[in-house]
Amino acid sequence: MVTKRDVLKFVARTTRRDIPATVSTVAREFDLSHAAAADHMRRMWKDRLIEAETSRARGFKFRPRPGESLDSLEFRLTARGRERLKWHKDKEDWFEGLFG
């Protein structure tokens, strides 16, 4: 099962390489259907963990315009997304410290 965290890590890697993440690249990376990959990207975008690379009209920075497809957008990690990944890592480190 692919988690939001897995996809967020992938977007972080592509952002570090200065390569945009797209619905298609996520689908290929995780062997997901196009719809499943789009759902992951849509949720992360809505949660402001990723942002579209192109400039967006006011009110549409973290959501598509009416009729706009996510297929045409390229995404990168936001500062909030980096903080979320750090939180996951700190949580893992803490948990491993209990049993390690």
Domains of the chain: 4-99 (1.10.10.10)
Supply the pLDDT for residue 50. Answer: 97
Per-residue model confidence as pLDDT tens digits over 22-63:
999 999 999 999 999 999 999 999 999 999 998 888 889 888
pLDDT score recorded for residue 55:
86
Residue whose C-alpha is closest to residue 38's, from 7, 79, 61: 7
Report the alpha-carbon distance of residue 4 to residue 17 in Å, rounded.
20
Predicted confidence (pLDDT) per residue in 67-85, tens digit? 998 998 999 999 999 999 9
Give me the phi and psi of 3, to 5 degrees please: -100, 165
Q: How confident is the model at residue 89 (pLDDT cuts 50, 70, 90)?
A: confident
pLDDT at 100 over 80: no
